[in-house]
């Protein structure tokens, strides 16, 4: 791939970013969840550049970002009333809806599926950018495929510097985990990826089956979910249950004896349980939004510290905990221990 000089653009340079996008280039931009790598969703050649820059498998479809319901209507064939209700309640915001696509949406965006994932991001810079261009933006998270999603412009630069022409810097993103992905082509709706809008919030309004409930059913509806994701270089172990601290101490001793650099990820209040160990603080105990916000930064931090093993205390799976545990499980690649 040709080496590019990646420009860092300030929010007031939205116009410059829009020009690049109109020329068929890719640009990274902030959303309320994580940074996205955008391209004109209606231009297959521009979208192909997203896959090339990220090293993303071609069979993993992209989310199309829109200015509002009006623009979404140009891309999808039908909006069931229950889906419209969710749009009105949660947009702009971290909820992605999978709907039957219209002809205009190129195959490269949807990886050949007859559905398209759409959302309206709740970020002033993203919305200004979407309004400045006349087309919707296909955008996956702006990380190298398999790496934790970027929540700061510098994360994007680490992964994609030299591979993309520009990053629109909007500072730190708010939520820190990606949007919730909901399949609205079946009834009840199916949760494909837990995210910023919680399962509990959705179930207050419409019927939704969780991933646990529809796991094992025919082909994976969200192709992206089958890839290892969110993984730092360090081996992650996810430890749950009342004996978690004891287990983590035992494991850390065993790994340190082998000469491996070990870190522990735990709530600030529990750091005292791990004297002498490198602790990555998850913030105040039970503050799930706070943890979601720093989760990917902590995983990247583990690599910066040169950790070979990261022992992580599991959290409860209520509310945002479901999205957090989903990402941690992927990072752990099956290394899960319950006590
Ligand atoms: O918060 C977010 O959603 C961020 C920001 C940038 O908007 N984007 C993001 O995109 O996380 P990405 O590409 O990393 O994840 C998109 C997920 C993948 O799991 C993909 O398989 C799924 O959405 N997806 C996309 N189109 C789909 C479709 N038509 N049917 C089912 N799943 C789809
Ligand atoms: Mg991603």
How many other CB atoms sit within 10 Å of the CB of residue 207? 10
Report the nearest atom of ligand 1 relative to the CA of 110: 29
Choose the final residue of a domain: 194, 210, 226.
Answer: 210
Choose the final residue of a domain: 161, 195, 210.
Answer: 210
Mean pLDDT, consecutive 10-residue segments, the chain of 339 residues? 90 98 98 98 98 95 98 98 98 98 98 97 98 97 93 96 98 95 97 97 96 64 62 94 98 98 98 97 98 94 96 97 96 95
Same-domain status, 245 and 145: no
Same-domain status, 154 and 273: no
In a domain, 228, yes or no: no
Q: Ligand 2 centre from 181 Cα, in Å?
A: 12
- Tell me which ligand sits closest to the C-alpha of residue 140: 1
Report the nearest atom of ligand 1 relative to the CA of 142: 6
Report the nearest atom of ligand 1 relative to the CA of 177: 1
The burial class, CB within 10 Å (0-12 / 13-18 / 19+), for 226 is: exposed
Tokens 């996205």 correspond to 36
**Residue 309: per-residue pLDDT:** 98
- Expressed as residue numbers, the domain containing 57 is 7-210
Tokens 């965006």 correspond to 109
Q: Is 117 in the pocket of ligand 1 (CB under 6 A)?
A: yes
Shortest-distance Cα residue to atom 18 of ligand 1? 224
In a domain, 44, yes or no: yes
Q: Ligand 1 centre from 257 Cα, in Å?
A: 41
The C-alpha atoms of residue 204 and residue 169 are separated, in whole angstroms, by: 36
In a domain, 241, yes or no: yes
| pTM of the predicted model as reported, rounded to 2 decimal places | 0.95
The count of structural domains within the chain is 2
The C-alpha atoms of residue 195 and residue 204 are separated, in whole angstroms, by: 16
In a domain, 227, yes or no: no
The C-alpha atoms of residue 78 and residue 111 are separated, in whole angstroms, by: 20
Residues lining ligand 2 (ion), CB within 5 A?
141
Same-domain status, 58 and 157: yes
In a domain, 42, yes or no: yes
Shortest-distance Cα residue to atom 15 of ligand 1? 140
In a domain, 229, yes or no: no
Same-domain status, 266 and 165: no
**Residue 213: per-residue pLDDT:** 75
Same-domain status, 173 and 316: no
Nearest to 34 by CA among 186, 184, 152: 152
Q: What is the CATH number of the domain that holds 102?
A: 3.90.870.10
- Contact partners, residue 84, CB within 8 Å, separation at least 6: 69
Q: What is the CATH number of the domain that holds 297?
A: 3.40.50.11030
Same-domain status, 206 and 266: no
**Residue 186: per-residue pLDDT:** 96
Q: Is 36 in the pocket of ligand 1 (CB under 6 A)?
A: yes
Shortest-distance Cα residue to atom 31 of ligand 1? 222
Q: Ligand 1 centre from 89 Cα, in Å?
A: 20
**Residue 223: per-residue pLDDT:** 62
Sequence-ordered strand ranges (E) for the chain: 7-9, 27-29, 36-40, 63-65, 95-100, 115-119, 137-138, 166-168, 180-183, 189-193, 208-209, 235-240, 262-266, 278-281, 309-313, 336-338
Same-domain status, 269 and 131: no
Q: Is 96 in the pocket of ligand 1 (CB under 6 A)?
A: yes
Same-domain status, 330 and 182: no
**Residue 2: per-residue pLDDT:** 72
Same-domain status, 42 and 107: yes
In a domain, 216, yes or no: no
Q: Are the beta carbons of 306 and 262 closer than 8 angstroms?
A: no
Same-domain status, 196 and 268: no
Pocket test for ligand 1, best of 117, 126, 191 (most atoms within 8 A of CB): 117
Same-domain status, 18 and 106: yes
Report the nearest atom of ligand 1 relative to the CA of 37: 6
Same-domain status, 184 and 243: no
Choose the final residue of a domain: 210, 227, 251.
Answer: 210
In a domain, 221, yes or no: no
**Residue 30: per-residue pLDDT:** 98
């Amino acid at each position: 791939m040709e080496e590019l000089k990646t420009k860092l653009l300030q929010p007031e340079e939205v116009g410059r970013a829009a020009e690049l996008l109109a020329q068929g280039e890719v640009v990274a931009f902030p959303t309320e969840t994580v940074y996205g790598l955008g391209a004109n969703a209606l231009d297959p050649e521009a979208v192909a550049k997203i896959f090339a820059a990220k090293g993303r498998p071609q069979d993993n479809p992209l989310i199309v970002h829109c200015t509002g319901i009006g623009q979404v209507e140009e891309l999808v064939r039908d909006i069931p009333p229950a889906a419209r209700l969710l749009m009105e309640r949660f947009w702009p915001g971290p909820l992605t809806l999978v709907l039957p696509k219209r002809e205009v949406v190129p195959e490269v965006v949807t990886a050949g599926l007859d559905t398209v994932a759409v959302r309206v991001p709740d970020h002033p810079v993203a919305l200004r950018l979407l309004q400045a261009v006349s087309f919707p933006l296909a955008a996956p998270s702006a990380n190298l495929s398999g790496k934790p999603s970027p929540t700061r412009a510098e994360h994007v630069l680490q992964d994609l510097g030299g591979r993309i022409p520009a990053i629109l810097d909007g500072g730190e993103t708010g939520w820190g985990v990606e949007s919730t992905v909901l399949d609205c082509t079946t009834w009840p709706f199916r949760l494909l990826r837990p995210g910023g809008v919680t399962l509990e919030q959705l179930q207050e309004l419409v019927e939704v089956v969780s991933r646990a409930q529809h796991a094992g059913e025919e082909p994976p509806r969200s192709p992206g979910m089958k890839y290892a994701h969110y993984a730092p270089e360090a081996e992650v172990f996810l430890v749950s249950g009342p004996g978690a601290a004891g287990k983590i101490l035992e494991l850390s001793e065993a790994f340190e004896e082998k000469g491996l650099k070990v870190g522990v990820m735990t709530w600030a209040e529990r750091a005292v349980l791990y004297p002498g160990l490198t602790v990555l603080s998850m913030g105040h105990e039970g503050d799930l939004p706070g943890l979601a916000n720093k989760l990917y930064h902590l995983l990247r931090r583990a690599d910066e510290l040169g950790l070979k093993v990261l022992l992580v205390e599991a959290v409860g799976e209520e509310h945002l905990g479901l999205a957090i545990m989903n990402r941690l499980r992927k990072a752990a690649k099956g290394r899960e221990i319950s006590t």
